[in-house]
Each structure stands twice: as structure tokens, then as C-alpha cells.
A and B are shown apart, each in its own frame.
Chain A
């Protein structure tokens, strides 16, 4: 069977909107277009009802209560609001924040900014498997610690952090726990009660909802978490996030959560089957391929693999009918190879050869097989072109060679 190209396999970046989500959203653009804050007419009531319905759908997915869901423009804003909002609110209690090195930039750069304002941040390392050690979190806590921010699952390597264990420690020590749940919610069970999460960042567009809408779960009980707002204005969302609500987006977000919750068991099993088909296919056809990060604690839909001796950007250029991502420096704006892979201790040479496959709801077995074959063709071709592959085959230990731009052969 012929597959339709290009194939989209970059679902950690974003996902297509599920047709059921789109269907739920459409009436809220031009029929039920009211402002949910309009309290005195039917247009406003209809919009408000839809927003509250969505709040419930989102809350149920993570075992929260609807009142604990604050709508934002997306996960970057949610992370900013959680960290900056808590930092300002609890400034008198302390100025110390604990996070870890493979967090998303929306967390890391927020923490860096707070350092400029006198906060102290501990960036915990991760092991070779990509996971932070909960005991290291415990040891890092001081009387000045006000917040721990650890992601549920990583966007590059799909590694799931021991959030329940960290949550237990945070609770015991009376420190708030913020979790960037963007890649995890809707894909694996996330339970703010069981995991003792106080703040949880979420976004719609990674779970087949629209872009531009996200949420922050803010715990209301045991303890009641308060945040200083970033935006000043009409005092929407319990005063934590002013601004007219994106009603169609919120409706879509709610629907997306509902679908994920209802279908999680089946979808997760299907994703694991596709991912394993991809992994086994690549490993059986190609030598010198390495998986980055723990496969034991892993998102169902992620595979991050290094294809030694083949630079990532040239690989992407060869598989131009397949949309995936690379940890190669050449594909990043900073011209640095992936800091996530670096944190795992993956050598820069292998980081340049890494590819992230993000499977999604609409990928098929045929597409996986096509990707395996294309990867095999292109990697084989580029290895024929690679002096490093030739040297490795000759038995030269590339890591022991003296490299330098002025070096000449042998």
C-alpha cells in the first residue's frame, strides 16, 4: 500500500487538531461567539457554560477540581506564571528554587531570569537514563526553598521523571511542586492528588487540540497555593490571569482532554506497538544506532535515536518526505547540539547524529515501515559518504584521534 507523503512524525512539537475537537470548536467562532465574562446576556452565558464545561474536562484528566484550572495562552505562559508567580508570592518565605537540567527552556530561562532578581536556583543533574534522583531533590531542599520544578516527561527523549516520589518529598518538606506536564498529560496517567503536584502546566496543541491555549492547575486545598499574576487587567481566572478567554480554544482543549482520557489505554497500547515496530525495524536494519534515555521510564510515543557517523541535519535533508527532529547543532537556532542529550552524557559527536521520532494518533504501521526503509536508505547512503564510518570500519578509534581544523590526514 502506498503511503501518503510527507509523513508527520514530530508529534512532540505539535499535533494536528483531531476532527472531533475541531467540530466542537467551530460553533464558538461565529455562532456562540460571546465573551465568557459578559454576565448580563445569553451570549456571555453560553460562552461561560462552554468554558466551565471544558474546565471540568481538563480537571478530570488530571484528577483536579475544575476551580483549580487557570486558562493561559499555552505552556510557556503556564510555566512562567507558575514559577514567577510562586517566586513573587512566597518571597518572604524564601528565595530558593530547585529544578533540573533537562527542563524545557520555558522553565530554565524563567529560573535564570529569577536568578538576576536575587533568587537562588539549584539545577540538579540527571543520570545517563535522563532521570533525576529524588534523593538529590531531598538533599537540595533548604529552609529557603519555596519551589521545586520538575517536568513529567521530557520533550526530546521522552523520559518520564519520578514525579510521585518527588511529590512525596515535596509534601513532606512543605515545598511546592510545579510540574511541566506538557508531554505527559493525555498520554500517560497524571494525577495531581496521587503525585502531590501543586502546580501543573498543560497545553492543548500537544494532545490534538488547538495552538494558543493552555492551562495551569493551581492547587486550592492542602495547601492552598497562591500566585502573583504576571498580567494586570480585568482579574479573570481568580485574579491569576487577566485577559478575555479564548473560548473556541478552550472548548477544543476540553474536548481534546476528554478524548485522551476516554481513549488513553487503547491509544497508549497502540503507540507502544508502533514505537516498538519502529525501534526494532531500525535496530535490525542498521548497526551503530543508540537509543538516548531510559526506555523503561518512557512516553509511549517517543523514540530518540543516534545514528552514529551521520550528521542529523544531512539526515533530515535526505528524509525530506518525513517530518522528524534532530538534536544536531545545525538544526538549532543556537548552533549548539542538544543540551538535553549533553546532560545525559551523550557525546557531542553522537548528539549531532540524533533523531527524535514523535509518534501520534494518526500514524499507521505502513507509515512506520516506510520511515524504517527511508531511514535505512539514507543512513546507508550517508555512511558511504562519511569519513568517520570508513575510519570506524578500519578500526580507528575516533574518540582518541586528535581533531582540529588544521589537522591533516592519518
Chain B
């Protein structure tokens, strides 16, 4: 399979690899996918409680090159955005940016899910998520 230059670049030089302390009340952690499906993404964000700006983002991904690139790109995009802006990121934008072929669209869906899961976790910690009420 031929990969786009952007996928190769993210694969060779993944941005923001690592972990943030998951007990930190200002850190949201999203863990999506499943090992049996061949994709697991962990996306973490440190969010300023006052401004709701995502100050830091880190990821670790088990998956193909496109999954690694999608999550790496997601960390780049969410950094500096507010929570509301990050929630507006659509998987189709990731597909376009990375020129993902149709069989790899699920990688972008997973990245969008990871963003939402991380923010959901942060909201839950703050006690303002719907399910916490």
C-alpha cells in the first residue's frame, strides 16, 4: 500500500508521543479501539480549567501507520484549541489532511473518538458531564 507523504512524515516523526499523569484533575484521557481490531489509541489532554484551552496533548497508538498518523495529527490540532473547538474536529478533516484511502477511514474515526473520549473524561472529572449529573 502506498502511503501519503504526510502519513509517512507523522509515522517517522510522530508529534507529541508520551503520557500525561492521568490522576491530574486537569488531564483527560481517551482510550479507544481494541487490540483484537488491531487499533488502540490513547489520547491525553491537559486542559486549563479556567480558559478551557488545551495546553498539552500526548498520544500513544498501537495500530497501522495511518492510525499512528491520525492520532499524531489529532494532538497537533487540538493543542491551543478550546475544548469546544476540539470537539468540532471531524474525522473527514483528518482523512483530507492525510489523504487516507477508503480502507483507512476507520483510523480517522478512531482519532475523532479519542478526542471526544479524552474531553469526556476531563468533563467527568470536573463533574459536568451529562452522565455524572
Contact = CB atoms under 8 A, between A and B. Distances in A.
A330 B113 contact: no
Contacts of B22: 409-410
Interface string A120-137: 000000000000000000
Interface residues of B, number: 38
Q: Which secondary structure dominates where chain B touches chain A?
A: mixed
Interface in A329-368: 329-330, 335, 337, 347-349, 352
A314 B19 contact: no
Contacts of B3: 317
Interface in B41-84: 41-42, 44, 60-65, 67-68
A409 B29 contact: yes
B117 A386 contact: no
Contacts of B113: 405-406
B38 A330 contact: yes
B60 A387 contact: yes
B35 A403 contact: yes
Interface string B90-133: 00000000000001000000100100011011001000000000
B109 to A, nearest CB: 8
A408 B29 contact: yes
Contacts of A347: 36
A311 interface: yes
A352 B11 contact: no
Contacts of A388: 35, 40, 62
A237 B94 CA distance: 57
B102 to A, nearest CB: 11
Contacts of A352: 35-36, 38
Contact of A386 (B30, B36, B61, B103): B61
A388 B42 CA distance: 9
B32 interface: yes
A330 B14 CA distance: 20
B31 interface: yes
Given A388-B35, A403-B34, A410 B61 contact: no
Q: Which secondary structure dominates where chain A touches chain B?
A: loop
A410 B33 contact: no
A337 B117 CA distance: 27
Nearest to A329: B38
B64 A313 contact: yes
B14 A385 contact: yes
B36 A349 contact: yes
A312 B64 CA distance: 7
B33 A405 contact: yes
B63 to A, nearest CB: 5
Contacts of A313: 38, 64-65
B120 A311 contact: no
Contact of A407 (B31, B60, B68): B31
A399 to B, nearest CB: 8
Interface in A265-317: 309-314, 317
A276 to B, nearest CB: 30
A53 to B, nearest CB: 43
B69 to A, nearest CB: 10
B120 A408 contact: yes
A328 interface: yes
A404 interface: yes
A390 interface: yes
Which of A310, A329, A352, A390 has the most C-beta atoms of chain B within 10 angstroms of its own C-beta?
A352
B17 A385 contact: yes
B34 A409 contact: no
Contacts of B11: 314, 317-318
Nearest to B7: A317
B123 to A, nearest CB: 10
Contact of A337 (B38, B61, B63, B64): B38
Contact of B121 (A310, A311, A398, A408): A408
A311 B61 CA distance: 10
A314 B63 contact: yes
Contacts of B103: 335
A390 B60 CA distance: 9
A329 B66 CA distance: 14
A409 B35 CA distance: 15
Given A311-B62, A385-B68, A387-B62, 7 more contacts: A310-B62, A352-B36, A403-B35, A406-B32, A408-B120, A409-B29, A409-B121
Q: Lowest 5 A-B CB distances belong to which pairs?
A: A409-B29, A403-B34, A349-B35, A387-B42, A348-B36
19 contacts: A312-B38, A313-B64, A314-B11, A314-B67, A318-B11, A335-B103, A337-B38, A352-B38, A385-B17, A385-B68, A386-B62, A387-B62, A403-B33, A403-B34, A405-B34, A407-B117, A408-B121, A409-B29, A410-B31
